[in-house]
């Protein structure tokens, strides 16, 4: 088992779906990622929040064993995101993004953080992703990155620069098309790989996820669920399951990446069952093992 470092957003989210509405609940790319990955390996979180960030949220992360020493409390307000979904839960509509303390955040890694063998650059300003990558001492065994339309539109040059340096990209389908400027997802995956990463993971919401690893494609379905309340965080939770498993196995071979795709799908299937981190907060490892087995049955070709 090896350690995993993540930099990304820690947020207060306001979200509306056809099934309900929440105001200023715990969210953020690094939050969902670290919470999800913490079921599989030891996670260190690097991010910033404002003085308005509720102590109970810190406690939730700490109680899960997430190392929050890199979560800086700055003067100012916590990052806020407001989003909405229609009946098609696959596409979030961003209504408002307030960077707040992230606008002046300059991450500074301590020695242990800088030597972490697995690194996830969760969705945040690509210049911050670069700043973290540049401080790593020795090349991590695997570096993965996630991003979204906000940064593809607003900071494309910095994003292209950091993409050259990473091994894996996780991105959702709409954003993959936007980044590659290509409507066909298979071609889009290849175009993204041509920017640097040898592995591209495209998350497709209820349609599952696609992996391009070198020249080989692999797909996993989403776990079939009848009650999906809020897809917010599903992508980051998927990435947490994926990277958490890779770090836990401390291997990056093709078979490990394929199993990591299943762990990503399993973890994401829990997040969407409730708002914020509510479902993940009620989870234990037996739930994960059970759903992993159900997943194996789901995709098995031969029946005994
Ligand atoms: P996802 O896993 O793709 O559903 O990501 C949802 C999370 O992304 C939410 O909890 C938001 O707080 C966070 N988020 C939204 N916009 C941004 C942004 N521009 N930069 C960083 N994080 C964001």
At 179-192, the pLDDT tens digits run 999 999 999 999 99
Does 9 contact ligand 1 (Cβ within 6 A)? yes
Distance CA 243, CA 250 (A): 10
CA-nearest residue for atom 18, ligand 1, is 124
Question: Beta strands of the chain (E only): which ranges?
Answer: 4-7, 11-17, 20-27, 43-49, 67-73, 79-84, 93-98, 118-121, 142-146, 168-172, 199-203, 209-213, 216-220
Contact assessment for residue 130 and residue 162, using Cβ atoms and an 8 Å cutoff: yes
Minimal-distance CA residue to ligand 1 atom 6: 233
Ligand 1 atom at minimal distance to the Cα of residue 237? 2
Choice from 23, 29, 128, 231 to test ligand 1 binding pocket (greatest atom count within 8 A of CB):
29
Give Cα 260 distance to the centre of its chain.
13
Dist CA 257 CA 118 (whole Å): 14
Whole-prediction pTM: 0.97
Pocket of ligand 1 contains residue 292 by CB under 6 Å: no
49 lines ligand 1 (CB under 6 A): no
pLDDT at 91: 85
233 lines ligand 1 (CB under 6 A): yes
184-218 pLDDT, tens digit each: 999 999 999 999 999 999 999 999 999 999 999 99
pLDDT tens-digit series, residues 261-298: 999 999 999 999 999 999 999 999 999 999 999 999 99
- Residue-level pLDDT at 111: 96
Listed residue (64, 66, 24, 9) closest to 236, CA to CA: 9
**Is residue 178 lining ligand 1, measured as CB closer than 6 Å?**
no
Indicate whether 165 pLDDT > 90: yes
Question: Which of 184, 269, 181, 193 has its CA nearest to residue 230?
Answer: 269
Portion of the chain with pLDDT greater than 90, in percent: 96
Asked whether residue 2 carries a pLDDT value surpassing 90, the answer given is yes
| Closest to 206 in 3D by CA, of 85, 94, 122 | 85
Q: What is the pLDDT of residues 71-100, one digit of tens each?
A: 999 999 999 999 999 988 888 999 999 999
Ligand 1 atom nearest 31 alpha carbon: 10
Interatomic CA distance for residues 70 and 219, integer angstroms? 35
Ligand 1 centroid vs 66 CA: distance in angstroms? 19
pLDDT exceeds cutoff 80 at 303: no
CA geometry: angle at 94 spanning 89 and 97, to 5°? 145
CB distance 235 to ligand 1 below 6 Å = yes
Write out the H or E segment, with its range, that includes residue 291.
Answer: helix 285-299
128 within ligand 1 shell (Cβ under 6 A): no
205 forms beta bridges with none
How confident is the model over 169-180, as a mean pLDDT? 97
Q: What is the pLDDT of residues 124-137, one digit of tens each?
A: 999 999 999 999 99
3-state secondary structure of 56: helix
97 lines ligand 1 (CB under 6 A): yes
Predicted local confidence at residue 180, as pLDDT? 98
For 236-289, the DSSP string reads HHHHHHHHHHHHHHT--SHHHHHHHHHHHHHHHHHHTTSSTTHHHHT--HHHHH
Residue 90: per-residue pLDDT: 85
Rounded distance from Cα 232 to ligand 1 centre (Å): 8
Q: Over the stretch 11-56, which tens digit does the pLDDT of each residue have?
A: 999 999 999 999 999 999 999 999 999 999 999 999 999 999 999 9
Asked whether 121 and 129 are in contact (CB, 8 A), the reply is yes
Instruction: Please tell me if the CB atom of residue 78 comes closer than 6 angstroms to any atom of ligand 1.
Output: no
| pLDDT score for 302 | 87
pLDDT at 30: 98
Rounded Cα distance, 219 and 6, in Å: 25
Tell me the helices (H) and strands (E) count for the chain, helix number first: 12, 13
Atom of ligand 1 nearest to the CA of 231: 4
Distances (CA, A) of 275 to 182, 234, 272, 285: 32, 11, 7, 20
Cα(302) to ligand 1 centroid in Å equals: 39
Question: Which pLDDT score, from 0 to 100, does residue 105 have?
Answer: 95
């Amino acid at each position: 088992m090896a350690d995993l470092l993540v930099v990304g957003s820690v947020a207060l989210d306001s979200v509306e779906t056809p099934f309900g509405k929440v105001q200023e609940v715990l969210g953020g790319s690094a939050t969902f990622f670290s919470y999800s990955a913490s079921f599989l390996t030891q996670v260190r979180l690097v991010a910033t929040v404002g003085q308005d960030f509720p102590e109970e949220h810190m406690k939730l992360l700490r109680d899960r064993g997430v190392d929050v020493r890199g979560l800086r409390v700055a003067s100012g307000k916590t990052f806020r995101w407001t989003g909405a979904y229609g009946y098609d839960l696959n596409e979030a509509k961003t209504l408002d993004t307030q960077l707040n303390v992230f606008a002046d955040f300059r991450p500074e890694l301590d020695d242990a953080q800088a030597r972490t063998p697995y690194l996830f650059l969760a969705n945040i300003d690509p210049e911050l992703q670069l700043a973290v990558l540049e401080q790593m001492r020795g090349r991590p065994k695997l570096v993965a990155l996630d991003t979204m339309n906000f940064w593809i539109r607003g900071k494309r040059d910095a994003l292209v620069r950091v993409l050259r340096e990473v091994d894996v990209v996780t991105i959702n389908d709409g954003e993959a098309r936007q980044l590659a400027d290509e409507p066909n997802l298979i071609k889009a995956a290849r175009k993204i790989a041509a920017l640097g990463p040898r592995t591209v993971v495209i998350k497709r919401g209820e349609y599952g996820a696609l992996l391009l690893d070198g020249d080989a494609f692999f797909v996993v379905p989403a776990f079939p669920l009848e009650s999906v309340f809020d897809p917010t965080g599903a992508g980051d939770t998927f990435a947490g399951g994926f990277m958490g498993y890779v770090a836990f196995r401390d291997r990056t071979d093709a078979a490990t990446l394929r199993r990591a795709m299943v762990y990503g799908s399993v973890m994401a299937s829990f997040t969407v069952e409730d708002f914020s981190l509510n479902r993940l907060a009620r989870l234990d490892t037996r739930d994960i093992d059970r759903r992993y087995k159900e997943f194996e049955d789901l995709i098995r070709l031969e029946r005994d």
